[in-house]
Amino acid sequence: MTPALLSAALLLLLLPGAPAQHSNQTPITILVSNSVTNAPNMTFSTHVSFRGILLGGMRRLQDSQSGFTFSYTEDANYGPFLESVNGLAGCPSDRTYWELLVKKPNNQIIRPDVGIGCYIPSANDTIILNFNTY
């Protein structure tokens, strides 16, 4: 690369609004749904740090929005286990639980093989926290 082209490329990197290799924030949406009572869905926008875990984005959302709360327990073998969202807890006797699904930007819905403490969202994932029965 010639010195003039190199200087131009460096200048572009220093300009405000110039494209970066990656952002420090990965935007995600969290959709809270209830397949048991069919209550209206609630949708929230948040972000995780670049290559950050879902749990961090959920904590950030809980700290910034009064309409979103959650609780979890720490399992020694499997890590964080989602117990409740917005005050509604899963119950073994009712056979209810919080299911983690992810709708990818191409509209494919996946069931991650990890939980909230290990799942690393991609940009524009819709995280579906669905109250369901088993």
Nearest to 125 by CA among 104, 98, 100: 104
Nearest to 56 by CA among 116, 124, 131, 122: 116
Both tokens of 97, joined, read 């639980």
Q: Cα-atom radius of gyration of the chain, to the nearest Å?
A: 19
Nearest to 80 by CA among 48, 51, 55: 55
Residues whose CB falls within 8 Å of the CB of residue 85, separated by 6 or more in sequence, listed in order: 32, 68, 69, 70, 98, 129, 131
Residues whose CB falls within 8 Å of the CB of residue 21, separated by 6 or more in sequence, listed in order: none
3-class secondary structure, 14: helix
Both tokens of 29, joined, read 């949406």
C-beta neighbour count of 69 within 10 angstroms: 14
Q: Tens digits of per-residue pLDDT, 100-120?
A: 999 999 999 999 999 999 999
Sign of CA dihedral 68, 104, 99, 74: negative
Q: Tens digits of per-residue pLDDT, 13-55?
A: 444 444 444 569 999 999 999 999 989 999 999 999 999 999 9
Nearest to 59 by CA among 71, 50, 51: 71
Q: Break the chain into its structural domains and give their ranges.
A: 22-133
Yes or no: is domain 22-133 CATH 2.170.130.30? yes
Q: pTM for the full model?
A: 0.81
- Determine the average pLDDT of the residues in 70-88: 95
